[in-house]
């Protein structure tokens, strides 16, 4: 080796070492940042991490990488099993995006069209079914009443649910086909198809029955063959009248009289389409990543799922096929929540940032959508346009003080303490209100929740508008 070669090798070694050292520092920096973010998430779930409460499994995904995957709290209070990433939860209405995917698969194969009427599949429905299309069902525009209300009105079900799975089962436990049958007895829908948007579990029960009719398979078999197996979602299944065994499943709870009570049973636990997929956060990662690909359907087909529906008068809704489609502090999101018995679930996706949060919980009182929102702000806050609080005089805020009736017997109280406005909700939660103007406030730490104080012509506050509900001042 000559002198020039020696110099070259020395330079190469120095550069390589320098790059390596720089990469190590960069990796260390990224790891330290993620550890800091994880610490913030851990603090959010601190009340559910003491080993004596139900809780949640959480996964945070960015650019295909798992930034956080943890369990908080107990899957079962009796045997003290902790919640882990492999713990199974009932998805509730998050199931709807899988039902919609099954319909989209059949549409892409040419087995059905979104404009086909309901009467084509189930002629036993009254004549109005000729005006209700598959698209109406997907977009929540069909106008069906809720099937569980129909069962209660029929007298076949009592109102003693949800309750512990250790109690005696009800004498009548309807299946999805029973739900379809009672819906077929509805003499007239709540409104003409496409006239308005109204969230409907009944519509998605019907959609699952259409999948069975068209495919010739049970809905469980269709999901397994076309979604779960291709995506290696080995811990996912549909719970139906066959009562399949679920491994490592969380027990669901509610708080009653200061004590956690298991509420895993209702007589309607086998009805599906709108609900009834059990899965884990690890399998939800596989589902989320598949939505960036064409593993299930083509991109053009999937685009329909994330396109808001349109009413007859041209008004655009916020709902596609099994997904809410909204802006979140300036960023595009698609999301959905679920709740049944004590399970609470939420998936919040930011497709442009390739970022997703999934929270699966086994406690009815746990606000999973709130946690998903807060986690997204921890990781993406620098990309969001968050509201900015202004200064108001105590006199201006004093006009908002008072009690507000959300519904009979459900009272929220707004108070002024020193120079800050606070609201206490009926469940005992207490939030600081930050002003954007004299009439518009948002919750500290929950900027996505805003309150508008409505005034009369004399300038007196008469009500609060919050989350599409108006609460009058008492």
Give the residue with greater pLDDT, 135 vs 35.
135
Taking only the tens place, the pLDDT of each residue in 250-300 is: 999 999 989 999 999 999 999 999 999 999 999 999 999 999 999 999 999
322 alpha carbon, distance to own chain's centre: 10
Taking only the tens place, the pLDDT of each residue in 106-154 is: 999 999 999 999 999 999 999 999 999 999 999 999 999 999 999 999 9
Question: Above pLDDT 90, what percent of the chain?
Answer: 83
| pLDDT for 262 | 97
Taking the CA atoms of residue 288, residue 292, residue 298 and residue 303 in that order, the dihedral angle to the nearest 10 degrees is: 80
| pLDDT for 203 | 98
| pLDDT for 468 | 67
| pLDDT for 33 | 65
CA atoms within 13 A of residue 467's CA, in its CB half-sphere: 7
| Closest of 454, 424, 456, 419 to residue 434, by C-alpha | 419
Taking only the tens place, the pLDDT of each residue in 87-102 is: 999 999 999 999 999 9
* pTM exceeds 0.85 for this model: yes
Residue 25: pLDDT above 90?
Answer: no
Kindly state the tokens that stand for 122.
Answer: 């189930």
Residue 5: pLDDT above 80?
Answer: no
CA angle, residues 462, 468, 469, in degrees to nearest 5? 45
| pLDDT for 194 | 98
DSSP for 175-197 reads -HHHHHHHHTT-SS-SS-TTS--
Contacts within 8 Å (CB) and 24+ apart, 128-135: 128/188, 128/189, 128/193, 131/192, 131/193, 132/189, 132/193, 133/193, 134/103, 134/207, 134/210, 135/309
| pLDDT for 312 | 97
Mean of pLDDT over the chain: 92
Average pLDDT over residues 386-393: 92
Contact 309, 317 (CB under 8 A): yes
Average pLDDT over residues 326-350: 97
| pLDDT for 29 | 53
| pLDDT for 16 | 32
| pLDDT for 15 | 32
d(CA 228, CA 280): 12
Q: Which residues pair with 333 in a beta bridge?
A: 326
Contact 444, 431 (CB under 8 A): yes
Contact 144, 186 (CB under 8 A): yes
Name the architecture of domain 89-383.
3-Layer(aba) Sandwich (3.40)
Pairing of strands 410-417, 402-407: antiparallel
Q: For residue 1, name the pLDDT band (cuts at 50, 70, 90).
A: very low
Q: For residue 30, name the pLDDT band (cuts at 50, 70, 90).
A: low
| pLDDT for 45 | 96
Name the architecture of domain 394-473.
Beta Barrel (2.40)
| pLDDT for 24 | 46
d(CA 113, CA 128): 19
416 alpha carbon, distance to own chain's centre: 34
Contact 431, 425 (CB under 8 A): yes
For residue 27, the SS3 value is helix
Q: For residue 159, name the pLDDT band (cuts at 50, 70, 90).
A: confident
Residue 19: pLDDT above 90?
Answer: no
| pLDDT for 21 | 41
């Amino acid at each position: 080796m000559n002198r020039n070669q020696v110099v070259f090798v020395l330079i190469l070694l120095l550069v390589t070492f320098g790059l390596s050292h720089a990469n190590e520092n960069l990796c260390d920096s990224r790891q330290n940042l993620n550890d800091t973010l994880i610490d913030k998430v851990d603090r959010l779930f601190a009340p559910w991490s003491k080993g004596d409460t139900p809780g949640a499994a959480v996964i945070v995904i960015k650019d295909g990488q798992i930034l956080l995957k943890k369990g908080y709290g107990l899957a079962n209070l009796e045997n003290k099993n902790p919640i882990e990433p492999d713990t199974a939860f009932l998805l509730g209405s998050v199931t709807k995006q899988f039902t919609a995917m099954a319909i989209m698969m059949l549409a892409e194969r040419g087995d059905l069209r979104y404009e086909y009427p309901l009467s084509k599949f189930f002629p036993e429905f009254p004549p109005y079914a000729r005006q209700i299309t598959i698209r109406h069902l997907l977009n929540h525009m069909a106008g069906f009443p809720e099937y569980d209300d129909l069962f209660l009105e029929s007298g076949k079900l009592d109102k003693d649910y949800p309750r512990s799975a250790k109690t005696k089962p009800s004498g009548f436990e309807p299946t999805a086909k029973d739900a379809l049958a009672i819906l077929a007895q509805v003499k007239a829908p709540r409104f003409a198809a496409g006239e308005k948007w109204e969230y409907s579990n009944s519509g998605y029960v019907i959609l699952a029955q259409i999948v069975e009719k068209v495919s010739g398979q049970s809905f469980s078999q269709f999901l397994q063959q076309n979604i779960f197996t291709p995506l290696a979602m080995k811990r996912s299944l549909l719970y139906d009248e066959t009562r399949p065994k679920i491994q490592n499943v969380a027990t669901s709870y509610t708080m009653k009289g200061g004590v956690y009570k298991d509420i895993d049973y209702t007589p309607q636990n086998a009805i599906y389409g709108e609900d009834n997929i059990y899965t884990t956060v690890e399998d939800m990662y596989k589902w989320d990543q598949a939505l960036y690909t064409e593993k299930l359907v083509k991109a053009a087909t999937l685009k329909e799922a994330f396109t808001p529906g349109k009413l007859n008068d041209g008004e655009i809704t916020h709902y596609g096929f099994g997904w809410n489609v909204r802006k979140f502090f300036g960023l595009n999101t698609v999301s959905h929540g679920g709740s049944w018995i004590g399970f609470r679930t939420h998936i919040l996706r930011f497709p442009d940032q390739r970022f997703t949060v999934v929270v699966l919980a086994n406690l009815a009182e746990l606000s999973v959508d709130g946690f998903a929102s807060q986690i997204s702000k921890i990781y993406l806050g620098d990309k969001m346009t968050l509201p900015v609080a202004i200064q108001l005089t105590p006199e201006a805020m004093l006009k908002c003080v008072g009690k507000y009736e959300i519904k009979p017997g459900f009272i929220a109280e707004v108070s002024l303490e020193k120079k800050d406005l606070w609201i206490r909700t009926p469940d005992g939660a207490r939030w600081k209100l930050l002003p954007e103007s004299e009439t518009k406030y948002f919750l500290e730490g929950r900027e996505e929740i805003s309150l508008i104080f409505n005034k009369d012509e004399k300038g007196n506050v008469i009500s609060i508008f919050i989350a599409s509900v108006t609460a009058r001042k008492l």
